Amino acid sequence: MKRKLSSTLQLSFKKNIDETFMIEPADWGVSIITDWHHFFTKPLKRYPFIIIIPLSTVVVVTLFIVFSTLVIRLASLLQYGF
């Protein structure tokens, strides 16, 4: 009895997992846009942190260099305001 219940639960769980991960491939309607989408998202799916962390660090440092006084004033305002 217990084995049958376990098997039934496993089948139910597998069915739910299969439904959850059934995602159709992205199709933008225009083959050029779809190809570019696949070209840029494939590396992000394989190793997202190797790309996202350095990119976000570069963006933050660049914004700080460009808007340094504004960032310092905003941080001071938020620090004393809250």
Question: Is 70 exceeded by the pLDDT of residue 19?
Answer: no
The model's pTM:
0.43
Question: Is 80 exceeded by the pLDDT of residue 77?
Answer: yes
Measured distance CA(38)–CA(23) in Å, rounded: 15
Angle at the Cα of 68 from the Cα atoms of 58 and 48, rounded to 5 degrees: 20
Domain boundaries in the chain? 1-43, 47-82
Instruction: Give 16's DSSP letter.
Output: H
Contacts of 71 (CB under 8 A, 6+ apart): 63, 64
Question: Is 70 exceeded by the pLDDT of residue 23?
Answer: no
pLDDT classification of 25: cutoffs 50, 70, 90: confident
**Count of CB atoms situated within 10 Å of the CB of 3:** 7
Q: For residue range 30-50, what is the model confidence (pLDDT) as tens digits?
A: 889 889 988 888 888 778 788
Question: Is 90 exceeded by the pLDDT of residue 26?
Answer: no
